[in-house]
A = this chain, B = another copy of it.
Amino acid sequence: MGRGKVQLKRIEDKSSRQVTFSKRKGGLMKKARELAVLCDVEVALMIFSDRGRLYEFSSAESLGKILERYRTHVEEEIAVRRSSELEKTHHADCPGLQMGARPLEMIQRYLEEQNIQEKTLIELTHLEIELDVILRQTRFRKTQLMIEAIKAHYEEEKQLREEKTLMEEEMAAMMSEDHVLRLELEPNNARAPPLQETLLNLF
Contacts and interface: CB of A to CB of B under 8 A. Distances in A.
A85 B36 CA distance: 20
A44 B56 CA distance: 9
Interface string A111-127: 10000111011001100
Contacts of A198: 149, 152-153
A60 to B, nearest CB: 8
A67 B70 CA distance: 10
Interface in A1-52: 6, 8-11, 17-18, 20-21, 24-25, 27-28, 31-50
A200 interface: yes
A91 B199 CA distance: 12
Given A78-B67, A152-B198, A202-B91, A48 B42 contact: yes
B120 A199 contact: no
A132 B103 contact: yes
Q: Can you tell how many copies of this chain the complex includes? A: 2
A38 B31 CA distance: 18
24 contacts: A6-B38, A32-B45, A36-B101, A37-B101, A41-B50, A45-B45, A61-B100, A62-B78, A62-B81, A64-B82, A67-B70, A67-B71, A67-B78, A72-B84, A74-B147, A76-B199, A79-B195, A79-B199, A82-B200, A90-B202, A128-B128, A128-B131, A146-B202, A157-B160
Interface of A: 6, 8-11, 17-18, 20-21, 24-25, 27-28, 31-50, 54, 56, 59, 61-64, 66-87, 90-91, 99-101, 103-104, 107, 111, 116-118, 120-121, 124-125, 128-129, 131-132, 135, 138-139, 142-154, 156-157, 160-161, 163-164, 167-168, 170-171, 174, 179, 181, 183, 191-192, 195-196, 198-203
